[in-house]
Amino acid sequence: MIREFRDFLMRGNVVDLAVAVVIGGAFNLVVMSFTADILTPLLGLIGVPDFSMLNVAVGTATVRVGVFLNALIGFVIVAAAIFVLVVRPMAAFEAARRRAPTAPTTKTCPECASEIPMAARRCPMCTQPLPTAS
């Protein structure tokens, strides 16, 4: 059971997921700092109030609407950054990969119809000499 657990942990996708979570946490800190320390004060300069101080009193409870708005702004920034920096380039890369023709690496033996490397001069299956391309 311990060996199976170790094998599970060492699979590539588990390690990739762990790295993604750590990087995502670090990216979250950067985005939250950008939102709270840079974007919100800049919005204040152009007349938009500081959302973090926006509260609504409902009876004895205080609803912190501004904190939610800051989180919403942070989400939009993260979504935009991921779209611009990851999704669009990956989509362009995938489209280019699909368009690029790939040179064949194998050919078919005319005698036995087996797949053989392009550089082969004799079929490894039926040992027949192959016609040379002129």
pLDDT lower than 50: segments of the chain: 134
Cα dihedral 80→85→86→88 (10° resolution): 80
- Give per-residue pLDDT as tens, 56-81: 998 899 999 988 887 888 788 778 87
- In sequence order, the 6+-apart residues with CB closer than 8 A to the CB of 70 are 35, 36, 40, 51, 52
**pTM recorded for the entire structure:** 0.49
Domain ranges within the chain, ordered by starting residue:
2-99, 103-134
**CATH class of the domain at 2-99:** mainly alpha
